Structure 1
Amino acid sequence: MTEKQFINEKSFLYGAFFSAIAYGIVVTLAAICLNILWAKRLPIKHRRFQFIYVILVFMMATLSMGFEIRIIQAGFLEQRDFNGGTAGYPGPAAYLGKNLDHALPIEFKAWMACLVLTNWFCDSILLWRCMILYQDNQLWPTFFKYLPSGLLAASFITGVLHLIQITAPETSAWATANLPFNFTILYGIVAVLVNLTLTTLITLRLLIHRRRTTRALGAGHGNDFTTIVAMLIESAVLADIFVLLFLIPYSMRHWFCNITIQPLIQVQAMAPLLIIYRVAQGKAWSSTASRSQPRSFSTSNSSQPRTPGPGSSLGFSHHRRNSSQLPMIRATDGYLGMDTAGTELRPRPSESSTFDPYELYRSKSKLELEQEQTLV
């Protein structure tokens, strides 16, 4: 056994090992997402999309893992003495390398199809979040038609061409008899561009809302934005790093691509599951967020609830009080009353004609104001 043959065989085994670890993470994330969605007190029609999406992503990850096990079994057991291809040496690495470039066995075709479908699922949820964040933007409909949709269409077209190229009997990724280009590399580049573009759009929108919220309510109210942005960047960057770690060695015909291509499907499945997990917890940004403005307090001689001003909602799914539950001050000739969450406090007689009702409000409602801000 030559040194090159030995390194290539080890690289395929290492890739299968890392893929199994990544699949365990996907199983955990999918189980957590389904459990949270099932426990939510919402009608099933409001959760149907998330349920179906999580199940489909989990199915793609599971099927790809099954096909990958079958591929490794065929290479290291059934085709141990394989002597063919362009590797220049016999053995499992020659068999696996040949079929990754020219996927004729059914398990290789199915595994490649799972890879493309999982990538489309990952891009589609990022596009969905872009639509949610930009749907109230007047420039978004025109912009949406040309850039995100165009990139997603390019990903779909290059993905189909990639599958046709590597599964047709007369072509392969490198021996392009009827197709003029290696669409495996082109498809990978387009996938990275789509992911980075959609993630950048989402991040910019969230940072704009974070700046508006911190300016209106203080620095402590922008933590949710920072967490969401960090989650999006980390999940998107993780997938893009794995795609690049495959594309660059693959274009150089280096053995390192054998390690990164196998867990690629599982890594791509993690990103949308993390987003669904965030949405299911009720901490994702909603479409009403862009219309949010700070709440304001006012005095009134009436016990009627106040009409909420524009932007009384901050757009999150956290539990929060409505405008009728905000502290209300009612000052009369003989006493000071205060309504909090519909509860009337006992009146306190004023001790002098110069009694300042706002002093009592400031002294007794400081804690309530702090609690109100933490619930926003």
Structure 2
Amino acid sequence: MRAHSLRWAQSPTPQLAVKTFINDRNYPGGPGAYFFEQSTRWSGVVSNSVYIVNTWFQDGLLLYRFWTIYSRNYYIVVIPALAFLTSLIMSAILIAVLCRPGNTFWTALSVKLAIPYWAISISMTVISTALIAGRFLFMRYRFKKLVGARSSMPYLTITSGELRAGINLILTPSKITYRQDLKHTPDRASSSPAFSASMSTSWAPDETAAQLWNERCIFIGQFIGAFGYGVHLTLFVQCVHALYSGRKTRRHNWELLLFIFILFALGNIGNATSIFYAQKTFIDDRNYPGGPGAYFVDQSTDWSAVVCNSVYIVNTWFQDGILLYRFWTIYSRNYYIAVVPALAFLTSMILSAILIAELCRPGSSFWTDISMKLAIPYWAISVSMTVILTALIAGRLLFMRYRLKKLVGASSSMPYVTITAMLVESAAIYSINGIIFLVTYGLNDPTQNLWLPVLGQTQSIAPLLIILRVARGQAFTGATVDQLTSMRFGRSQATRTTNDGSTTVLDTFRSGRKNVRMGSHQDLEQKQDGGETESEFRVAVV
């Protein structure tokens, strides 16, 4: 049952890593030898084959974009297409070779196929990138000459494809050099007596099934945490771009930029120290008495473990703080209603600060009695506060959605009151992750180690999702809440003729406070009439 519960997390690459560093870590020559010599196991073959097939789609998409950007000219795409087909054929042969018994990614035949395959694939990517970038620069130059230097187009910016190709350009020499070095080394598979041994030979350590299960949870938790870090990194880049682009129109963007840089720095430190501690656990000190599982608990006062835990605890302060701020904003900036959550936040901060001090003491760990007595109430308060605020924020958004639908009809919508908005604004991702971890941690179940690494990243992901909505103008502000909560049914009609000749009926609602006109882009504008500020909420209903 336990083995099946982890199967979703054990894709071929983590599966091979688990076999290398846990299940068969007593293999002659160590995990490094096992990794090379046993890479013909199904997990190694599937992992390599999947990544090779992945390049077909990447190169094919880039070739298609190259053809599109160059006015769908078939002549100019002939040479890149031939390079793509050559790379595809060579990689298909490489996959067939890797499936043969006794062959690995580092045997002479595999290296002879892999080096030209990657050289062709990457050089095609780099050349296509240069040509696409040149085409963009030319189009940008022509566009600026036509409409002025201050104008811009979304098509003429750097995209992830060009960034990826730039990274490939940097990594190409090191990849080819590495393959060439391997080419001149002896064929490890054929020269190793261990390789000719039966594939059923067990190199498992002398540990119980429960110990191995605990170690697998710790190890796979690192992969899940790395996945969370990838999401964190992606959101960070998107937030920086959105906030920096709107820095001239929104006065608070610099403060938000500082906030997300702090979150990103904490997330980086936590991820790096977590990986370093895992390296010490499973590689540097893998012969520790009791195995990696015992080392993971006993040596958690190591500086890397202490820094990792402390950073992620501090991260919760920022996550809980921004959620409390959003709660206050969505509830019309009412200080009275925020008193109890604010007290819970302060209590959680104090408990977590004491926990950090306790973790720094020699001989202490995350699983000693005093640490658990501090950690469980700290996380219980933090997570329960998040869950309660989540429910209250979602309830508030549902109420606003109900009022809006009564005003403008069931077919109308706003970006503030969608299901996605409710999940993001309420930091639901952290709530779910936190509840699962808190239950497993309180029960001292090994699966807690699956959720702890990614919990540290969701503490950053949840605030970044909120900030991204703010930067894009899709999140609630104090003015938005005031406008929605003060709307009433005073109704008048007007029509507007669009550029294409169609007529749009505009429904107008008055609230007596501010004037808000909601067009196709949910734009807001204020008007004053005779010294009194009047509010109109106008939504196109067809």
Q: TM-score, normalised by structure 2?
A: 0.52
- 1:201: Cα distance to partner? 2.6
Aligned to 2:217: 11
Q: Does the 8 A contact of 2:517 with 2:524 survive in 1?
A: no
Aligned to 2:298: 98
Paired letter, 1:144: A
Aligned to 1:201: 392
Q: Does the 8 A contact of 1:245 with 1:260 survive in 2?
A: yes
Say yes or no: does 1:318 pair with 2:518: no
Q: For 2:517 and 2:302, how far apart are their aligned partners in 1?
A: 54
Q: For 1:126 and 1:315, how far apart are their aligned partners in 2?
A: 27
Aligned to 1:249: 440
Say yes or no: does 1:141 pair with 2:335: yes
Q: Which ranges of structure 2 fall in alignment gaps of 5 or more residues?
A: 1-205, 495-509, 529-537
Q: For 2:278 and 2:430, how far apart are their aligned partners in 1?
A: 23
Q: For 2:372 and 2:214, how far apart are their aligned partners in 1?
A: 26
Q: For 2:469 and 2:247, how far apart are their aligned partners in 1?
A: 16
Aligned to 1:115: 312
Q: For 2:384 and 2:434, how far apart are their aligned partners in 1?
A: 11
2:424 aligned residue (217, 224, 232): 232
Count of aligned pairs between the two proteins? 306
Q: Which ranges of structure 1 fall in alignment gaps of 5 or more residues?
A: 84-89, 300-307, 325-371
Distance 1:180 1:17, change over 3 A: closer
Aligned to 2:263: 57
Paired letter, 1:143: I
- 1:323: Cα distance to partner? 5.9
Q: Deviations over 1:113-159 (max 9, x none)?
A: 111111111111111112222345xxx322322x1111111110121
Q: For 1:40 and 1:98, how far apart are their aligned partners in 2?
A: 49
Q: Does the 8 A contact of 1:228 with 1:284 survive in 2?
A: no
1:161 aligned residue (341, 345, 354): 354
1:129 aligned residue (326, 332, 335): 326
Q: Does the 8 A contact of 2:376 with 2:442 survive in 1?
A: yes
Q: For 2:241 and 2:313, how far apart are their aligned partners in 1?
A: 27
Q: Does the 8 A contact of 1:155 with 1:194 survive in 2?
A: no
- 1:285: Cα distance to partner? 1.4
Distance 1:12 1:120, change over 3 A: same
Aligned to 1:264: 455
Paired letter, 2:473: G
Aligned to 1:81: 287
**Relative contact order higher in (CA < 8 Å, ≥ 6 apart):** 1
- 1:173: Cα distance to partner? 4.5
Say yes or no: does 1:217 pair with 2:369: no
Distance 1:196 1:180, change over 3 A: closer
Paired letter, 1:207: L
- 1:55: Cα distance to partner? 0.9
Aligned to 1:151: 344
Which range moved further: 198-207 or 289-298?
289-298
Q: Deviations over 1:49-89 (max 9, x none)?
A: 21111111111111111101110111112211112xxxxxx
Q: Does the 8 A contact of 2:217 with 2:446 survive in 1?
A: yes
Q: Deviations over 1:190-211 (max 9, x none)?
A: 1111111222232222222222
Q: For 2:244 and 2:371, how far apart are their aligned partners in 1?
A: 49
Q: Deviations over 1:225-272 (max 9, x none)?
A: 124543337x73322222232222222222111211111111221111
Q: Does the 8 A contact of 1:11 with 1:258 survive in 2?
A: yes
Aligned to 1:34: 240
Q: Deviations over 1:163-200 (max 9, x none)?
A: 22332225445544xx5961111111111111112222
DSSP-derived class of the 2:238 partner: helix
Distance 1:252 1:282, change over 3 A: same
Q: For 1:47 and 1:204, how far apart are their aligned partners in 2?
A: 28
Q: Does the 8 A contact of 2:517 with 2:525 survive in 1?
A: no
Say yes or no: does 1:373 pair with 2:373: no
Distance 1:209 1:70, change over 3 A: same
DSSP-derived class of the 1:297 partner: strand
**CA RMSD, Structure 1 to Structure 2 (Å):** 2.9
Identity %: 24
Q: Does the 8 A contact of 1:166 with 1:172 survive in 2?
A: yes
Q: Does the 8 A contact of 2:247 with 2:253 survive in 1?
A: no
Paired letter, 1:92: P
Q: Does the 8 A contact of 1:242 with 1:260 survive in 2?
A: yes
Paired letter, 1:373: V
Paired letter, 1:312: N
- 1:9: Cα distance to partner? 1.8
